[in-house]
Structure 1
Amino acid sequence: MDRGVGAAVRLPESGRKELAIQALAGTETLSDLAAQHGVSRKFVYQQTQKATAALDEAFSPVVRDDEVLFELAVTKTWLRQVIVALPLICRRSYRGVVEFLRDLLGLPVSLGQVHDVLQAATRQASAVNEEPDLSGIRVGLHDEIFQGATPVLAGVDARSTYCYLLVAEQHRDADTWGVHLLDAAERGLRPDYTIADAGRGLRAGQQAAWGDTPCHGDVFHIQRRSEGLANTLSRLAAGATSRRKTLQAGISRAGQRDPDGKVDVQLEQARHTEVRASCLARDVRTLVQWLRHDVLALAGPDLATRRELFDFIVVELMARELEDQRRIRPVRVALQNQRDHLLAFAGVLDIELATIARAYAVPEPLVRSACMLHRLPTTSPAYWQSWTELRARMGGKFHVLLDAVLQIMAGTPRSSSLVENLNSRLRTYFTLRRHLGGAYLDLLRFFLNHRRFLRSRHAERQDKSPRELMTGQGHPHWLTLLGLGPLQPRRA
């Protein structure tokens, strides 16, 4: 493979063009061409695609800049579509919408008109938001996000990213959460479990509304908090080293020791502080890495083993609290109090892996090994060595079982980070919040749930909206749902 890559890099432009021409001619197979030039088949495909694209462009009909491509009937409905689409798709302000219509269409529109259209769209969006049946949601992600000083209660489907709760409230206590979760339950929401951070109001509200529905811990927040502790201690250790070096350099420049020995005492104290700070930072960094890569990682040991490792980390942090109690104790207490919630995902994974083992009549340790395989990068020799060993032990069941394990892992969420992602998207719509007030959340929830993904790392989400993914049913374009459709430009 390395020789092929090197040959491809050394191949001049003229050689690449000749290779593409030979491939297009079809007189020789791609494998033969790759062997002749010492390159990979993938490289030959790439050059062929470039040549094909160049030919298509060369022979495509030339379109003049002033040629009419199509005609569009500018109606009142179409203008309302533009007024709604510009703030939502392009994140334009009210004045940006007015400027667009003035400069491109020569149409005078007031800020009041823009506001009225968006208010009407918001009322329709609020009605549409109440339509979908939420019974298909199996895992709900709950969190409290903030728009300024106002808390926003949010709930998102882990599989489809459909947002079923997004409302600004003055409080985030148990009663407030409970009321909204009861409302969602009336629309069919009854997930197998939810994922949330350690917020007391959130968890108490869910228990009051849904009884014994489990609420798993969110690993995202605790990992970020733990890594923040490790980073802070590392900076303190670096500062101690810097102070020691400064004192040492001062002694060297003086050329002689201080007669009273004060500088020597300061230097010795600095060295002692540096050693303690460096050891503490190194130990905590190691414990945090174990927590992230061995205990809270999706591909990992069974729940019982994770609990032992988790308890070990907590004990080791407690042993080092006296070194920096103000910083270490809050993290240690948070870990200790949330252990069972944070590791709940491991129990779900254990059940699913055991189900796979029974379905394929394979020993459970082998299924666990297939899960642990994904701890390794696919570019490492260790990955492929383990892959080969597992394939030899599983025989013809290997590929189908590996796919089943991958699906189970993909369907076992551990964090509510999708809500954090939602929060980052909401922040770009500040102008709507300023003009529409709290109702803008209804409009944004509608828009984000009904616009179709242009691209996604998950192939099943491509060209589908979160609502379509959640319900399994199609729906009209989001502008049509707002009573502003259909979208049918008339071709020339």
Structure 2
Amino acid sequence: MQPELYRDIVIATEPCRDSLLTARLAELRSLDARAHQLAEDLRTLARWLERDVVALAGSDLATRHHLFDFVADELHQREPEDPSRIGTMRVALQNQRDGLLAFAGVLDDKLAAIARAAAVPDYLVRETCLLHRKPDTSGAFSQGWNRLHAAMGHKFYGVWAAVSPALGSTPRSSSLVENLNSRLRNCLTLRRHLNGGKAWLGLLQFFFNHRRFMRIRCGKRLGKSPREAMTGEDHPHWLTLLGLGPLQPRQS
């Protein structure tokens, strides 16, 4: 090909190439903007869930149910953007809703009993409960304290003194569910690599039954697996039990 003809071809195709690059750049910028917006939406939903739904000091159980369903519905609307992750998270949350919020029903009963004993309206006891969410050094705490004291008079001190231990003694079953779910979620994504209907569940059960606790509040169980804690009998490392040989010492 003559150099002059090659130069003419290149010059002729430059506008076409530039238009394709411009269109691709516009597409990538649009995808980037959608990804940033999706991430911000998910962060907002996570904050709502943490602060207004599963926080210990919060609304009554019925209101939490409505808020929880609202968050789940918002996640469902965004599933087409990332079905594998958003969809899995949304389904897991919906399946665990009652377990995650079970503590709220227990707290509702305690606050209702406090209201009856102090002969004050239920909503004032609930507001006293919500006041525990604010730092006691903040202006909002001082304003809330003064407002509730003005509404209940001398009864406020008794209500405050009763609400504090009620919050402290409420069993947070939700925290156990959250902890288990966070541990299981990564493991469950491996199921596609295992053949058989229930093989992966059996392996997961074996792992958790034979993996020794590295941190635990009960000192007697530290360094023991659930099986060792329940039977009182030692066993080799779980990898050794699977036939992979003795555990090798860690090299420094």
Which of the five TM-score ranges fits, normalised by the shorter chain?
Answer: 0.5 to 0.7
283, 294, 298: which one aligns with 2:56: 298
Post-superposition CA distance 1:34-74 (Å, at most 9, x none): xxxxxxxxxxxxxxxxxxxxxxxxxxxxxxxxxxxxxxxxx
CA-CA distance at 1:438 after TM superposition? 3.7
Given that 1:299 and 1:371 are in contact with CA atoms closer than 8 Å, whether structure 2 keeps it comes out as yes
Post-superposition CA distance 1:211-254 (Å, at most 9, x none): xxxxxxxxxxxxxxxxxxxxxxxxxxxxxxxxxxxxxxxxxxxx
33, 39, 45: which one aligns with 1:287: 45
Pair 1:412-2:170 in alignment:
yes
CA-CA distance at 1:265 after TM superposition? 2.2
207, 215, 222: which one aligns with 1:425: 215
CA-CA distance at 1:418 after TM superposition? 9.5
Pair 1:335-2:93 in alignment:
yes
* Counterpart-to-counterpart distance in 2, 1:402 and 1:343: 23
Distance 1:319 1:384, change over 3 A: same
* Counterpart-to-counterpart distance in 2, 1:408 and 1:423: 30
CA-CA distance at 1:433 after TM superposition? 6.3
Q: Which consecutive unaligned segments of at least 5 residues does structure 1 have?
A: 1-257, 445-492
Pairing 1:71-220 to 2, within 5 Å after superposition = none
* TM-score of the aligned structures, taking structure 2 as reference length: 0.65
* Counterpart-to-counterpart distance in 1, 2:123 and 2:63: 14
Distance 1:386 1:332, change over 3 A: same
**Matched residue SS, 1:405:** helix
* Counterpart-to-counterpart distance in 1, 2:179 and 2:30: 45
Distance 1:433 1:310, change over 3 A: closer
Q: Say which one has the larger Rg.
A: 1
Q: Which consecutive unaligned segments of at least 5 residues does structure 2 have?
A: 1-13, 184-211, 235-252
* Counterpart-to-counterpart distance in 2, 1:370 and 1:289: 22
CA-CA distance at 1:392 after TM superposition? 1.3
User: Residue in 2 aligned with 1:104?
Assistant: none
Q: CA RMSD in A?
A: 3.1
Number of aligned positions between the proteins: 182
Distance 1:423 1:388, change over 3 A: farther
User: Residue in 2 aligned with 1:357?
Assistant: 115
* Counterpart-to-counterpart distance in 2, 1:364 and 1:335: 30
* Counterpart-to-counterpart distance in 1, 2:141 and 2:73: 33
71, 83, 87: which one aligns with 1:313: 71
* TM-score of the aligned structures, taking structure 1 as reference length: 0.34
Pair 1:380-2:170 in alignment:
no
Pairing 1:40-55 to 2, within 5 Å after superposition = none
Equivalent AA in structure 1 for residue 93 of structure 2: L
If each structure's helix is expressed as a fraction of its own residues, which one has the higher value? 2
Distance 1:340 1:279, change over 3 A: same
If each structure's strand is expressed as a fraction of its own residues, which one has the higher value? 1
Equivalent AA in structure 2 for residue 332 of structure 1: R
CA-CA distance at 1:442 after TM superposition? 4.0
User: Residue in 1 aligned with 2:4?
Assistant: none
Distance 1:387 1:324, change over 3 A: same
**Matched residue SS, 1:376:** coil
* Counterpart-to-counterpart distance in 2, 1:395 and 1:360: 11
Equivalent AA in structure 2 for residue 316 of structure 1: E
CA-CA distance at 1:391 after TM superposition? 1.1
CA-CA distance at 1:439 after TM superposition? 6.9
Pair 1:392-2:150 in alignment:
yes
Higher relative contact order (CA 8 A, sep 6+): 1
